[in-house]
Amino acid sequence: MRRFGMSRPLWRILEAAVALVAVSAPLAAQSADSVTLAQAISEALDHSPTVRQARAAVSAANGQVREAWATVLPDINASASYQRNFMVQEAFLPRAIFDPTAGPDELLKVKFGAENNWSAGFTVNQPLFQVDAFIGVGAAGQYRALQEEVARGTTQGVVTDVRQRYLGVLAAAELVRLNEESVRRVRETLEDTRARYRAGLTSEYDVLRFEVQLANLEPGLRRSRDAVATAKRALLIAMGRDASGDIEVVGRLQEIDILEPERNTPEHRALIALSGPLLDSLALDSAAATAIAQRSDVRQAELGIVVEQARLKVERAQLFPKLSLFGAYSLTAQDPGSPTFFGGSSQYRAGAAWAGLRVELPVFRGFREYARMQQARANIDQNRARLALAREQTVDQLQTLIAALGETRERVASERDAVAQAQRGYQIATAQYREGLGSQLQVTDAELALRQSEYNYAQAVFEHLIARSNLDAALGTVPDAADLVSADGR
């Protein structure tokens, strides 16, 4: 038998290949990288466009510093040229210049130059007193420091964003787990109720109620799975990966012990360590001092003032006189006939050298410097107002976050107790229902209470870790690459 012109053995080989691809494709689609929080942050810092842009700005600022130094270093230029005259210029001069006996109307044709003209030389210019140049070097250095701080702030923003996206994936995954547990519990109770109904121990109405409850839970499970996919796509984008890929994050919110961190697994201890510090209201003063010294927006406002003050000095220095030393040396040669480098003989060469001092005094430049100084003063005032606002917002934000940490920590403790009580209540309700001592409504209420308490605990852990991440950003102490390696332990 032939199919599309292929022999039977070849067709079987093709069918086997297609079957192998069909089997391996789902397996490949199901495979996903397991990524820790530290790895996610490291990838984001390596691939983030905003981080690359900030680093490029620092590189440009380094170039401006080198350019500023160039204005105070000597300026040396060298040049050389060769000119071939195919027709040497000629002119007529009175013959009496060369022959006193010649008549006044007699002229003599004279050549100016030779067929080959050579010239070479160099010039030197060294600023001796140029206030704006020397101040400009310092201003460029301050601008570089500002760009470095902007890059640090951008990096911290990326780290905080990845942290919270990672925690968002954990929260969405926890909701999936809770819904799956609810569906499993309801299905088990439904199967038990159906068995009891077939044995005549319960009514059909009880079976219908559990079937309705299960039907109401399954759409929520699908929505929670879609939410996990959405959260993973957001994390992949933040990491610089293809959003169509797959990823598995390390950690489970329900297993994280906020109250006793030493009881956590190494993976969860690393996750807590990268979630930020734990402070209380007694540490507000020291936290505020740390934030004012470390927060990027505060430091950017401070450096902005310094940069504008340096700019003001540069514009004011434009009104000062400038003193510079200059000098030059030149060598020329002419060569008739075939070219010989620089004349081939010293009798066809001539040299010159000179040096001097140059003084430049600005007299009137259209009030340009005064206008620029006015702009610099306005920018200084803006940055001072920005700095004052940033400091006020820092203290207010710290108070809010420290209070949130305390509140979520207390909620974690209470919700953990509630989960234990709800689990015990569900066990009692199901046991009584199987013995015919309880009602289906009691089982439903117990399952709902257990699901709600487990969700509340996971939500409290999530909000606590988010608050710690926000606190770290508010303090300006977001971990760098070295902290990521030590926390991850890989």
3-state SS, one letter per residue, for the chain: CCECCECHHHHHHHHHHHHHHHHHHHHHHHCCEEECHHHHHHHHHHHCHHHHHHHHHHHHHHHHHHHHHHCCCCEEEEEEEEEECCCCCEEEEEHHHCCCCCCCCCEEEEECCCCEEEEEEEEEEEEEECHHHHHHHHHHHHHHHHHHHHHHHHHHHHHHHHHHHHHHHHHHHHHHHHHHHHHHHHHHHHHHHHHHHHCCCCCHHHHHHHHHHHHHHHHHHHHHHHHHHHHHHHHHHHHCCCCCCCEEECCCHHHCCCCCHHHCCHHHHHHHHCCCCCCCHHHHHHHHHHHHHHCHHHHHHHHHHHHHHHHHHHHHHCCCCEEEEEEEEEEEEEECCCCCHHHCCHHHEEEEEEEEEEEECCCCCCCHHHHHHHHHHHHHHHHHHHHHHHHHHHHHHHHHHHHHHHHHHHHHHHHHHHHHHHHHHHHHHHHHHHCCCCCHHHHHHHHHHHHHHHHHHHHHHHHHHHHHHHHHHHHCCCCCHHHHHHHHCC
The pLDDT tens digits of the residues spanning 357-373 come to 888 888 877 788 888 88
The pLDDT tens digits of the residues spanning 247-275 come to 888 888 888 888 888 888 888 888 887 77
Residue 12 has pLDDT above 50, yes or no: no
The pLDDT tens digits of the residues spanning 45-61 come to 888 888 888 888 888 88
Among 19-23, 71-75, 235-239, 245-249, which is the least confidently predicted range? 19-23
Residues of the chain with pLDDT > 70, as a percent, come to: 88
Report the pLDDT value the prediction gives residue 7, as an integer from 0 to 100. Answer: 44
pLDDT band, very low/low/confident/very high, at 406 (cuts 50, 70, 90): confident
What average pLDDT score do residues 163-191 get?
A: 85
pLDDT band, very low/low/confident/very high, at 15 (cuts 50, 70, 90): very low
What average pLDDT score do residues 87-96 get?
A: 83
pTM of the predicted model, to two decimals? Answer: 0.70
Residue 96 has pLDDT above 60, yes or no: yes
Report the pLDDT value the prediction gives residue 81, as an integer from 0 to 100. Answer: 92
Q: Which domains does the chain have, with CATH numbers?
A: 36-72+132-320+365-488 (1.20.1600.10), 90-129+322-360 (no CATH)
Residue 327 has pLDDT above 90, yes or no: yes
Higher pLDDT, 26 or 439: 439
The pLDDT tens digits of the residues spanning 215-237 come to 888 888 888 889 999 999 999 98
Among 31-40, 102-111, 270-279, which is the least confidently predicted range? 270-279
The pLDDT tens digits of the residues spanning 160-172 come to 899 899 999 999 9
Residue 339 has pLDDT above 80, yes or no: no
